[in-house]
Amino acid sequence: MEEIPSQSIGKNDEDEIVMEGAAAVHGEPLQDGNCPPNVESAVEILQEKVTKQIIKEGHGRKPSKYATCFLHYRAWTESTQHKFEDTWHEQRPFEMILGKEKNEMTGLAVGVSSMKAGERALLHVGWELGYGKEGNFSFPNVPPMADIIYEVELIGFDEVKEGKARGDMTAEERIGAADKRKMDGNSLFKEEILEEAMQQYEMAIAYLGDDFMFQLFGKYRDMALAVKNPCHLNMAACLIKLKRYEEAIAQCTIVLVEDENNAKALFRRGKARAELGQTDAAREDFLKARKHAPEDKAILRELRLLDEHDRAIYKKQKEIYGGIFGPPPQPKPKPTNVLMRTWQWLILICQWLASLIYRLFRRERHKAD
């Protein structure tokens, strides 16, 4: 795997894109996905048993027959709102070759064939184009004659005349296809087209899934990681720009599982953690990154910013809470009336005189006895 120069963390290089100095772009994260989303766009009838509502517009053209499509989807039974599949949760895009899909995916394929890359849509599919009259009693569990709701995002697609699936490709073909997607993503990133750039990176990662990586050893594994890890790191760079910090942390952590000393992964995870206010965890990442890239100015700058942030917080807290545990305020003496003070003195003198007379009287009486 190609080594990452320590001085490249804050600069552009061939394999990885960084985010310093670029304008921020605000993205729209996905909904939590527990229930089908409420969509107010117009209903488009694709077939008698398939309708579509667009949640987010896509770009470019639509896939043709035998195109290899990469998508994320969630699926619910319409009657019970029971979610039975979620590829977002599994963090693994689904691969579908249009025209070669399984019978239970026919309605989903109809919807996908009408979508553009990057489009997200809500599909309603009748049971006839889903799991049919019998349903499915294994995984996923779908009742008989169940109409289905899909929330689908078409990440992208490859036009291949014969519809060659990833599983039919050689290792070199899959790594090459992933590398092409990565380079396309880099070009889009440089133009600040972040959502489309992430789609290209995600498609590249789909070619290099866990099942494929598990089979690789030696130079082929190194070749695959040299493509896969930069895609995760560039995804993290996009997500930080889009202020989706939790997702950025997840992408960096995937790289650190493979390479715990990856300076760029540590740096970007530290950036995302700092933005979330996780300053102790961010400092830990930056310090570890500095150990492997001691001269990198971007790391030193982030550590300096954390120190300045801590000093500012301490100063503010001192201003707010500094006097809480200090000496209590002294009560102000109450003004006294002159006549009242004179009267009190006279009473004391009278009491003293009465006591003196009583003692003298008792002494004289004692002498007489």
Q: Is 156 exposed, middle or buried (0-12, 13-18, 19+ CB in 10 A)?
A: buried
C-alpha dist (Å) from residue 70 to 90, 211, 253, 278: 14, 16, 23, 34
Convert the pLDDT of each residue in 150-167 to its tens digit: 999 999 888 865 556 777
Rg over CA atoms, the chain: 37
- Cβ atoms 101, 108 nearer than 8 A: yes
Mean pLDDT in order along the chain per 10 residues (369 residues): 43 45 38 82 95 93 90 94 90 87 94 94 96 91 95 88 69 91 94 92 88 87 94 96 95 94 96 94 95 92 90 79 56 61 75 74 66
Q: Which pLDDT does position 167 carry in this prediction? A: 74
303: which residues sit within 8 A by CB, 6+ positions away?
Answer: 283, 286, 287, 290
Residue in this structure with the two tokens 């399984």, named with its chain if needed = 102
Residue 155: which H helix or E strand, with range? strand 148-158
Question: How far is the C-alpha of 16 from the C-alpha of 19, rounded, in Å?
Answer: 10
> Which pLDDT value is given to residue 18?
43
Rounded distance, CA 135 to CA 141, Å?
Answer: 8
Among 4, 22, 10, CA closest to 300: 10
DSSP 117: B
Q: Which two tokens stand for residue 303?
A: 């550590």
Tokens 């989303």 locate to 37
Cβ-based neighbour number of residue 61 at 10 Å: 10
Closest CA to 123 of 74, 81, 90: 74
Is the entire prediction scored with pTM above 0.85?
Answer: no
Position 359 scores a pLDDT of 72
Both tokens of 197, joined, read 């750039």
Q: Which residues contact 68 (CB under 8 A, 6 or more apart)?
A: 95, 96, 97, 157, 158, 160, 163, 164, 165, 166
Q: Tokens for 200, please give them.
A: 């290209």
DSSP code per residue over 89-140: HHT--EEEETTS--GGGHHHHHHHHTPPBT-EEEEEE-GGGTTTTT-BSSSS
Q: Where are the alpha helices (DSSP H) in the chain?
A: 87-90, 106-113, 171-190, 194-207, 210-213, 218-241, 245-258, 263-275, 279-292, 297-321, 338-368
Tell me the pLDDT tens digit for each residue of 41-82: 999 999 999 999 999 999 888 999 888 899 999 999 999 999
Chain mean position to CA 138: 33
Helical packing angle, 263-275 and 245-258, nearest 10°: 160
